[in-house]
């Protein structure tokens, strides 16, 4: 029987260089997954847009024009590739280098690598990092699942359901963190936190509406993806005591976040996962989130945070009042049990082994 693939070529997100935050949570997920696999004896090489930084891991950076982010597009948006496409170049390099690897792991939420999958000579595994956003993307994701179900994985059940897919338990890989980089903070200050890309699908306006009523002050950290949106909502809620703290590297982010008495998550879309939720828990910070998407699978309602009826500002206001009731040790404990690098590494290895076994069984059934 074929051995589990150990030499892996990783395709990064083509919407931004790794380390800039333009790619969102998948940047941290990719980094942590690559780290844990290396630790466990796999050898990885990452293909990523020019300007990417990935400490300690082998990386080949690729010049070219970045892809547009899928979340800014309508459902009927056709597939587009710009001239001098970085994604096209990454796929071409993957084709040329494939004989040096056992498999490709694709993190690009984009049509091209899914479409090209049967054209590669080595298996392509897909880590799908967002929920359903466009019809064209849905089609290739669902087709990939039909062709080789075990080779496609998702963060969460609710995310897969947005594609109309219900998958067996082993085929979800919630994110994980190097918890040694996140300090537990037992005694927070009075500030609330909101962390994420500043973009409409993240629903920051609801957090501003809530703090306008409670009088709390809140710091916002994250990439300023839509400055006009930020200005518009700040003008809409002039009473909100909100400060923009910039986009911080993990070390500084966790230090600042740990001092906060709660993280507020107000996504308007089905968040595939929500790395910031587990980062907060790792620092001992309880999470108030809408009961929608990944955060609803992460937060232990009433223990490590509070899940609020989606889009309900009064619900947020009531949940903020509950923050002192949560034990910050429980938050850290949940992160240690469910979202450590080791826990994610186990899930990843199980995925690679299961997919490999399924391929071997298929080959046997075909008499190959």
Question: Contact positions toward ligand UDP, by CB under 6 A?
Answer: 21, 24-25, 28, 195-197, 221-222, 247-248, 250, 253, 273-276, 279
What minimum distance in Å lies between the beta carbon of 162 and ligand UDP? 14
- DSSP element (H, E) containing 226: none
| Minimum CB distance to ligand UDP smaller for 98 or for 250 | 250
CA–CA distances in Å: residue 20 to residues 35, 73, 134: 18, 21, 25
Judged by beta carbon, residue 117 or residue 340, the one nearer ligand UDP is 340
How near is the Cβ of 177 to ligand UDP at its closest, in Å? 9
Nearest residue (CB) to ligand UDP, 151 versus 197: 197
Beta carbon of residue 1, minimum distance to ligand UDP (angstroms, whole number): 36
How far apart, in whole angstroms, are the C-alpha atoms of residue 231 and residue 351? Answer: 43
| C-beta closer to ligand UDP: residue 95 or 338 | 338
Pick 145 or 195: Cβ nearer ligand UDP: 195
CB under 8 Å to 34, separation ≥6 — which residues?
A: 10, 44, 46, 54, 57
Nearer to ligand UDP, 5 or 23 (CB): 23
Q: How far is the CB of 142 from ligand UDP (least distance, A)?
A: 22
Q: Is 24 or 88 the residue whose CB approaches ligand UDP more closely?
A: 24
The CB-based long-range contact list for 297-300 (8 Å cut-off, 24+ gap) reads 297/156, 297/157, 297/158, 297/174, 298/174, 298/273, 298/274, 300/330, 300/334
What is the number of the residue whose Cβ is closest to ligand UDP? 25
CB of 229 to ligand UDP, least distance (A): 14
- Which secondary-structure segment (H or E) carries 354? helix 341-365
Could you tell me if 94 and 47 are in contact, meaning their C-beta atoms sit under 8 angstroms apart?
yes
Nearest to 37 by CA among 275, 353, 344, 356: 344
Query: According to DSSP H, which parts of 203-249 are helical?
Result: 204-214, 227-236
In the complex, minimum distance from the CB of residue 87 to ligand UDP, in angstroms, rounded to a whole number: 18
- Give the list of residues 6+ apart from residue 104 with CB closer than 8 angstroms, or none: 8, 9, 10, 11, 94, 98, 120, 122, 123, 124, 125
Q: How far is the CB of 348 from ligand UDP (least distance, A)?
A: 17
């Amino acid at each position: 029987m074929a051995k589990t693939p150990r030499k892996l070529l990783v395709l990064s997100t083509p919407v931004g260089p790794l380390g800039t935050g333009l790619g969102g949570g998948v940047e941290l997920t990719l980094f942590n997954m690559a780290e844990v696999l290396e630790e466990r004896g796999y050898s990885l090489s990452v293909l990523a847009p020019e300007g990417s930084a990935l400490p300690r891991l082998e990386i080949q950076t690729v010049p070219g024009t970045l892809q547009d982010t899928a979340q800014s597009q309508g459902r009927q948006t056709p597939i587009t590739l710009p001239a001098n496409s970085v994604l096209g170049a990454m796929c071409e390099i993957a084709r040329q280098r494939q004989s040096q690897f056992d498999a490709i792991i694709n993190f690009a939420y984009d049509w091209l690598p899914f479409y090209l999958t049967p054209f590669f000579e080595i298996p392509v595994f897909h880590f799908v990092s967002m929920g359903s956003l466009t019809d064209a993307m849905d089609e290739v994701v669902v087709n990939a699942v039909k062709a080789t179900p075990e080779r496609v994985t998702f963060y969460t059940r609710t995310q897969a359901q947005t594609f109309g897919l219900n998958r067996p338990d082993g085929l979800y890989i919630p994110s994980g963190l190097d918890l040694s980089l996140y300090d537990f903070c037992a005694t927070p200050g009075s500030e609330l936190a909101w962390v994420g890309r500043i973009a409409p699908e993240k629903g920051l306006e609801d957090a501003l509406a809530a703090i306008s009523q409670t009088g709390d002050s809140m710091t916002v950290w994250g990439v300023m993806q839509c400055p006009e949106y930020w200005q518009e909502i700040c003008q809409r809620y002039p009473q909100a005591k909100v400060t923009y703290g910039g986009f911080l590297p993990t070390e500084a982010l966790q230090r600042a976040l740990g001092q906060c008495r709660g993280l507020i998550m107000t996504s308007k879309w089905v968040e595939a996962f929500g790395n910031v939720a587990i980062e907060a828990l790792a620092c001992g910070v309880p999470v108030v989130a809408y009961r929608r998407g990944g955060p609803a699978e992460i937060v232990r309602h009433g223990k490590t945070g509070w899940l609020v009826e989606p889009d309900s500002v009064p619900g947020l206001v009531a949940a903020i009042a509950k923050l002192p009731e949560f034990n910050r040790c429980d938050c850290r404990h949940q992160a240690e049990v469910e979202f450590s690098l080791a826990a994610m590494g186990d899930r990843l290895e199980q995925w690679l082994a299961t997919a490999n076994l399924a391929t071997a069984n298929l080959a046997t059934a075909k008499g190959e």
